[in-house]
Amino acid sequence: MAGYEAWLAYRPIADADRRAKIVAWTEAISADEDDLCIRTAAAELAQGLTRLTGRTPSCRTQAPGSASSTAAGSAASISAAASASAGRSVRLGTFEGSADVRESFSEAERASVAEEGFRIRADERSLVIAGTTGKGVLYGAFHFLRLVQTGTPLDGLDVLHNPANGLRMIDQWDNIDGSIERGYAGRSIFYRDNEITEDMTRIRDYARLLASVGLNAIAINNVNVHRLETMFLTEAYLPRIARIADEFRAFGVRLFLSVNFAAPFEIGGLPTADPLDEGVQAWWRATARAVYDGIPDFGGFLVKADSEFRPGPFTYGRDHADGANMLADALAPHGGIVIWRCFVYNCKQDWRDRKTDRARAAYDHFVPLDGRFRDNVMLQIKNGPMDFQVREPVSPLFGAIPDTNVAIEFQVTQEYTGQQRHLCYLVPQWKEALDFDTHARGEGSEVKRIADGSLFDRKLGGFAAVSNIGDDANWTGHPLAQANLYGYGRLAWDTDLSSEAIAEEWVKLTYGSDERVVETIRGMLMDSWPIYESYNAPLGIGWMVKPNHHFGPDVDGYEYSMWGTYHFADNRGIGVDRTVRSGTGYAGQYRQPNAGRFESLADTPDELVLFFHHVPYAHVLHSGKTVIQHIYDAHFEGVEGAEALLAKWDSLAGLIGEADHAAARSRLQEQIRHAEEWRDVINTYFLRKSGITDLHNRTIY
């Protein structure tokens, strides 16, 4: 069940034959190296196998700081005394640290394993989980447990997995008061009452969840860095942050901090935060040193600057490159990086101004700066040009800055996609962005190849995403929302995994392998994004949400607003003309043939037509429907879809733990009521505005 243990519950394997086979392969666990991550891996294996098979493997690991020996395992959760086993053992290790492991592979095989990759091979006498580094071994251990649970035969097993992305990061938008910006699963597990927590239990368990899906970095505070969080860079806070870093380190996760660009001014006692000021530079250098004194593997700084009223280099007449490079220079001696967010747009925008287009902003700001950023700077670009809407085109900034390191940013927390009260499995949405071909270097220039750095041969690349967890008992509020965190990690590791495969894995690990359960829940997950989209904003227009909290329908909520995003609906039509010919010119930010496709009303896919074009309500879509009839139909279908989700879930009664079933059920019921609300508000709005009645004469209020 999708409870506190999430996908790491290690449900006992029911099939006795299969259980016996696994026991035969795993009578002992041995690891010869003094490596934190390898000890974690051994402990996880011991724990997992014990729970899966009912039998505890014997275990031999290295105590911290000890030379190679056969002493009792040091990991606390390993209860069995170490002993040489009669059966076959699982051997963990790196090629460099373990001769035994090294000799199990050819030189070419060893060379095929990337820094954080792993290779698992079953030979006559043992099963080897090998990596270039301890982190790789840890990911291999988790993967091995996944294979065991998803029914993969162990005989003849030989798999190699390298992560697609170097950076696989999760961002906590947690505030020191314990609140979480855009959090929908309780309060922060990191902070409480304006203090950093000293209780490491949930932090450790969260680190384990992250590592289990291959995530290797975390920023532990909100990108909107307020007064107390700005102080995190000082001695008052660093010891506790280092304590948290210790927990993450054991799971191979590097800790980052979001920083306030104005910190030298706000807490440093300097008269300026100008990035070209020598005093400011010295302050950041000293600050970086202090951070690395306590956290030797500190990841670096995450920065939101000159965006939504956050301070930044603009105050001093400098640009983003000046700002980012100054921080990068402070971090470089220690191996740290700067992650600089591209979610930047002109705050002074006025809804009366129909020329300015927020969708253009990231491209307009950053393309001129391409090539000016240091090697240890990454620009973090949201998947779409707006802000995590249910449907957006891909940001045209991907592919437009070949001489800059980039990371793609997703939102695991469901800010605009149902806030973990609605079911919305987001992996298919992310896949769509990743598979988008930018044509930046001709055909085959998919976004995923830009994000991972390979297309432009960049040193750094990767994924970042806003976390969806809080201190709710099950981490994510909606039990099925765990699938988004799981899927994000798996996708960051392997962008070629299909949405269905990830969903299936997650269901098996979480709810077991009963075929009806797997098929039903996988189907629910796969249906959920289209269902959510259909009762939300139509045809790519986005933003039909209540302002500020972004839950529930409000068609004009952002229509007459400084932060506005606009649909421009009037009594004749709707949509934003973003063409070069007659609109904001945004379509021209793409490379060909995409630019031409979006420029043309005929060629723009239906799901994005209102993002790129202003059309009459009677405009006929590729689907054969008019825009207005599409709006009506989609919203009726959306409610039916929500009802179908509940019916499917109800068909699993008895096959799912009762409490878990009830918890998801109440959310699915709420989703139906709320989908009805969406349907009725949006349809009524457009009926009133257009005066065009529904072809099927359904009730619109």
- Smallest gap from Cβ 134 to its own copies, in A, equals 51
Site string for its own copies, 664-683 (x = CB under 8 A): ----------------xx--
* Number of chain residues interacting with its own copies (CB under 8 A): 26
| Cβ proximity to its own copies, 354 vs 581, nearer residue | 354
Give yes or no for residue 690 binding its own copies (CB under 8 A).
yes
Give yes or no for residue 571 binding its own copies (CB under 8 A).
yes
Give yes or no for residue 689 binding its own copies (CB under 8 A).
yes
Both tokens assigned to 341: 């967010």
Residue 303 dihedral angles phi and psi, to the nearest 5°: -130, 125
Give yes or no for residue 419 binding its own copies (CB under 8 A).
no
Pairing outcome for strands 89-94 and 28-31: parallel
Indicate the angle between helix axes 427-434 and 499-511, nearest 10 degrees.
150
Contacts of 119 (CB under 8 A, 6+ apart): 105, 109, 112, 113, 128, 129, 130, 131, 140, 158, 159, 160, 161
Other CB atoms within a 10 A radius of the CB of residue 192 amount to 16
Asked if 379 and 401 touch (Cβ cutoff 8 Å), the reply is yes
Choose the catalytic residue: 205, 415, 446, 504.
415
Q: Is 308 a catalytic residue?
A: yes
Buried b (16+ CB within 10 A) or exposed e, 589-612: bbbeebbebbbeeeebeebbbbbb
Give yes or no for residue 77 binding its own copies (CB under 8 A).
no
| Cβ proximity to its own copies, 382 vs 567, nearer residue | 567
- Smallest gap from Cβ 701 to its own copies, in A, equals 5
| Cβ proximity to its own copies, 461 vs 638, nearer residue | 638
- How far is the C-alpha of 526 from the C-alpha of 512, rounded, in Å? 18
Q: Which of 73, 557, 575, 641 binds its own copies (CB under 8 A)?
A: 557
Q: Which of 470, 553, 588, 641 binds its own copies (CB under 8 A)?
A: 553
Q: Which of 109, 364, 556, 606 binds its own copies (CB under 8 A)?
A: 556
| Cβ proximity to its own copies, 61 vs 671, nearer residue | 671
| Cβ proximity to its own copies, 221 vs 690, nearer residue | 690
Give yes or no for residue 580 binding its own copies (CB under 8 A).
no
Give yes or no for residue 15 binding its own copies (CB under 8 A).
no
| Cβ proximity to its own copies, 234 vs 346, nearer residue | 346
- Smallest gap from Cβ 447 to its own copies, in A, equals 35
Give yes or no for residue 352 binding its own copies (CB under 8 A).
yes
**Using CB under 8 A, which of the segments 132-140, 209-217, 440-448, 565-573 binds its own copies?**
565-573
Binders of its own copies among residues 322 to 351 (CB under 8 A) are: 351
| Cβ proximity to its own copies, 4 vs 560, nearer residue | 560
Asked if 670 and 662 touch (Cβ cutoff 8 Å), the reply is no
Give yes or no for residue 178 binding its own copies (CB under 8 A).
no
Residue-level length of the chain = 701
- How far is the C-alpha of 479 from the C-alpha of 594, rounded, in Å? 38
Choose the catalytic residue: 44, 306, 322, 387.
387
Q: Which of 423, 555, 587, 656 binds its own copies (CB under 8 A)?
A: 555
Binders of its own copies among residues 432 to 471 (CB under 8 A) are: none
List Cα–Cα distances, 591 to 54, 361, 576, 579, 607, in angstroms: 57, 17, 20, 14, 20
Give yes or no for residue 560 binding its own copies (CB under 8 A).
yes
E strand residue ranges, 277-403: 300-303, 337-341, 377-382
Other CB atoms within a 10 A radius of the CB of residue 294 amount to 16
Give yes or no for residue 537 binding its own copies (CB under 8 A).
no
Contacts of 50 (CB under 8 A, 6+ apart): 56, 57
Pairing outcome for strands 58-60 and 158-161: unpaired
- How far is the C-alpha of 589 from the C-alpha of 579, rounded, in Å? 10
Choose the catalytic residue: 103, 293, 308, 519.
308
Asked if 412 and 468 touch (Cβ cutoff 8 Å), the reply is yes
Nearest to 394 by CA among 430, 341, 357, 356: 430
Q: Is 387 a catalytic residue?
A: yes
Q: Is 392 a catalytic residue?
A: no
Residues with catalytic roles = 308, 387, 415
Binding site for its own copies (CB under 8 A): 351-352, 354, 546-547, 553-557, 560, 568-572, 680-681, 684-685, 687-691, 701
